[in-house]
Chains A and B, each alone.
Chain A
Amino acid sequence: MALIEDNGKGRARASLPPWIQTAFLTIGSIAMTMLGLLFVTFIIGRVMPIDPVLAIVGERASQSTYDAVFLELGLDKPLIVQFAYYIWDVLHLDFGTSLLNARPVAEDIARVFPATLELATLGIFFGIVFGVPLGVVAAARKGSWIDQLARVLALVGYSMPIFWLGLMGLLIFYGILGWVGGPGRVGIFYVDVVPSVTGLILVDAALDGNWDVFKDAFSHIILPASLLGYYSLAYISRMTRSFMLEQLSAEYITTARVKGMSEWDVIWKHAFRNIRVQLITVIALSYATLLEGSVLTEIIFSWPGIGSYITTALLSADMNAVLGGTVVVGLIFILLNIFSDLLYKVFDPRAK
């Protein structure tokens, strides 16, 4: 009891406004999460059986060349010292230079991340636009053909390897029908045609008013985005269906129906309104997963995104690039979490 009173006094002494306390807690939480993430990634990078020096100098290098690069990378220093140096640099927004392509990692990420952002955003757009209504209708018409169709679509989405589906999509829609552009972000005619302002080709083309490039870029992004959208759709529609079924079996829905409310209003104005908060979490997680970059999709479609960037860096022991990419992906997860927390407060009166 005494302790509780002491704590109360302590709070009174601090007398910080609640929003400042929340901001401090949030920033502290982000900092600790990022530190932990960097530490784990750093340690994994150092213990994995790839020699970063050999990756740079090659098998033929003389011992003196090898030793010189070993020292240049600071690998002679204790692990904790190396980590401390790295954290110091990151605090100064310096992710270092890629060991393998000699460019600043920040520059690399600024180049590859927009490609993933563009693809993931369009993908999640498709996932939401088709997945949410499908899940709602499947729940409202439980057992109907639409429900069965939704199940089949979700099952295929869950179980079909994206590699195979991507190749089949390319073969049919690009190879045979010629409806869409092939691998790559734009066709060869449009490489470097519009100035890179945001790194998002669709946006840059629109800003430049170059609609030929826009159409070409859209023809290239539509297939991989649809593919990612389909995988999101599979997840979002199943979760939507599940949330809706729970709501539709609640007593307040029965009451609404007894009162003679239209089925449309029952579903969209009552049941759906109450699943929005849960859906936000599902969509945010789905979007975050897409923003990590889908390595296989990026490989098949020659999409220079962050997924293949981090993977290539990891396999080549380019730890600066791996750590830089990890920071970005970690930040995305954290920011999306904060964003969904904020939306909770908008949609859920209890959270206000």
Chain B
Amino acid sequence: MNTFAKLLTGAAIGLAVSVTSFSAMAETPANMLVIAHRIDDVTTIDPAESFEFAGSDISRNVYNRLVSLDPNDLAAGYKPDLAESWDVSDDGKTITFTMREGVTFHSGNPVTAEDAAFSLQRAVILNKTPAFILTQFGFTPENAAETIRADGNKLMITTDKRYATSFILNCLTATIGAVVDKETVMANEVDGDMGNEWLKTNSAGSGPYKLDSWKPNESVTLSSNPDYYGGAPTMERVIVRHVIESASQRLLLERGDIDIARNLNPEDVAGASQVDGVKIEDELKGRLMYLALNQKHPELSKPEVRQAFKYLIDYEGMRDSFLKGQYTIHQNFLPATYLGASEENPFSYNIEKAKELLAAAGVENLEVEIGVREAQERIEIGQSFQNAAAQAGIKVNITVGTAKQILARYRARELDVYLGAWGPDYPDPQTNAGTFAFNPDNSDAAQATGLLAWRNSWDTGGLTEKVEAAVVENDREARIQMYQDIQAEFRETSPFVIMFQQIEQSALRDNVTDWSTGQAVTSAAYWQVTK
């Protein structure tokens, strides 16, 4: 034992001393992009099923779509991708895409109209969560073969009625519009699942990057596609490392072991911004923070009360304190950067004005319950609102719960007030207009739980028809104006108090250029990045 103890002690001291001999890590190589990001929300990378942020990032770089958004010019909207051009039939119901020639999948197989048709049909038939983005055009598993079909180099899609072409094409830029390699996918089909199980963890795309590996909660590794039709990306390898802790991300960035940190908290953003060699870039994202008032509540359904609540939010106070750098004030259902988004923010924190409105409505001693999911920022917003409401004579009882508890009651129309967040599903104004301002059947029996207006028992008045009209308007400028009008009316009449829009702050090494998280409309893109 004596000798053994000495040996162990000697070994331990030796190990400890040897640590000091390690030198500092080098910077990342010039042809490699290393990103620290939380990727624990990736549950599948099958584009027919993927509906999470980090999963969409992978799809955007691995797959091409018929049309897509240019990360360097997102404001321009959709552009040709695998579809070189398209024509719309006279009745406006059929779009014929002409496929780009000479494009190949990572497998080496050529990309054909047949692959594109298969991809869209597959998404409709599998009917996973994001399938509604396509099925809203009348595609069903039963009619998919007739409504989505290939003929030579052409792909034809026929919708159930006339829609604005921009609406359809915007939807096709979403993850679910990705074109997969039919031959590779079907070679991995099991029990008629159209390759779903396989594609959950593998890829079959033609995009600028190939998926090397996805280790859940650990890393995603991509390598550049040298045969990419748009030219091989400058960054030959992209590694996304799962780093949860903000301080760890910051240390990695400051030491030069990563190029981009995507999840820094405001304190670490402030700290990193003072460091030489690091820069901060802000991008508006699509997530909106809002309060919703249940219109079944006799007092909350009064127009003056709805207005009063909009003056009981300390917009600037919250933005400049605990939401600093992470949210900006935004009072419209279309996030800024969306087609037709309004930038009017007419409401301000005004207790006296709220009191006047409540008095005009004859409301006294109002007591309401507000449901809040257990997220720190939401709880703090709830507390701020509770404090403001108390000054106007309204007693607010905050119920904090899990997603299951709070969402279940919200979807069942049981909460007085809900404090929540909403992010758009695809880059077209219909995504939010169709849920905030659209409610064709306000009855309980309708069970339209996907519509926020229905969840709050709000009969939108004429807005439902206006939303329906906007979605078929083919004139871009006219469509923009229609959404502007809808938002103006919505701001005044709706039971939604839209407060903030999210900002994503990325911290980058200062040699990184052309970084894009996709703003509110899409996901992060890597192929245009240079160092």
Show the binding face of A for B, using Cβ within 8 Å: 49-51, 54, 56-65, 68, 98, 100-103, 108, 111, 125-126, 128-130, 132-133, 167, 170-171, 174-175, 178-184, 187-189, 191-192, 215, 219, 222, 226, 264, 268-269, 272-273, 299-302, 304, 308-309, 312
Contact = CB atoms under 8 A, between A and B. Distances in A.
B267 interface: no
Given A59-B407, A188-B28, A215 B216 contact: no
Contact of B248 (A103, A130, A183): A183
Given A111-B215, A300-B248, A302-B242, A130 B12 contact: yes
A156 B408 CA distance: 45
Interface stretch (B123-131, B328-336, B481-489, B497-505): B123-131
Contacts of B265: none
Interface in B179-228: 197, 200-201, 212-213, 215-219, 221
B405 interface: yes
Contacts of A103: 201, 216
B220 to A, nearest CB: 11
A-B complex: 4 closest residue pairs judged by Cβ atoms: A178-B24, A102-B200, A129-B12, A101-B216
B401 A49 contact: yes
B273 interface: no
B102 to A, nearest CB: 32
Contact of A179 (B9, B22, B129): B22
Contacts of B296: none
A126 B22 contact: no
Contacts of A51: 403-404, 408
Nearest to B403: A54
B248 A57 contact: no
B393 to A, nearest CB: 33
Nearest to B52: A58
B447 A63 contact: yes
Nearest to B42: A101
A226 B407 CA distance: 43
A332 B254 CA distance: 39
9 contacts: A54-B404, A58-B51, A62-B132, A65-B127, A101-B201, A103-B201, A170-B251, A178-B24, A222-B19
A103 B214 CA distance: 11
B428 interface: no
B416 interface: no
Contacts of B350: none
B493 interface: no
A188 B257 contact: yes
Given A183-B243, A304-B215, A64 B127 contact: yes
Contacts of A181: 22, 25
Interface of B: 1-2, 5, 8-9, 11-12, 15-16, 19-20, 22-26, 28-29, 32, 34, 40, 42-44, 51-52, 127-132, 197, 200-201, 212-213, 215-219, 221, 239, 241-245, 247-248, 251-252, 254-255, 257, 401-405, 407-408, 425, 447, 449-450
A248 to B, nearest CB: 17
Given A179-B19, A308-B244, 5 more contacts: A167-B245, A181-B22, A183-B245, A188-B28, A273-B1
A94 to B, nearest CB: 15
Contact of B9 (A58, A100, A133, A219): A133
Contacts of B425: 60
B202 to A, nearest CB: 10
B241 A129 contact: no
B201 A102 contact: yes
B22 A304 contact: no
B251 A302 contact: no
Contact of A101 (B22, B43, B407): B43
Nearest to A68: B127
Nearest to A61: B129
A215 B217 contact: no
Contact of B251 (A129, A174, A219): A174
A58 B55 CA distance: 13
Contact of B217 (A61, A300, A304): A304
A177 to B, nearest CB: 8
Contacts of A54: 403-404, 407
B9 A49 contact: no
Contacts of A189: 26, 29
Nearest to B212: A192
A219 B26 CA distance: 14
A57 B449 CA distance: 14
Nearest to A136: B5
Nearest to A52: B404
Given A183-B243, A273-B1, A302 B404 contact: no
A191 B221 contact: yes
Given A65-B129, A101-B42, A219 B19 contact: yes
Given A129-B12, A179-B22, A50 B404 contact: yes
A60 B129 contact: yes
Contacts of B12: 125-126, 129-130
A155 to B, nearest CB: 22
A302 B243 contact: yes
B260 to A, nearest CB: 13
B403 A184 contact: no
A223 B288 CA distance: 40
B136 to A, nearest CB: 11
Contact of A56 (B20, B43, B219, B252): B43
A100 B12 CA distance: 41
B244 A299 contact: yes
A57 B129 contact: yes
Most chain B CB inside 10 Å of its own CB: which residue of A60, A100, A309: A60
A60 B51 contact: yes
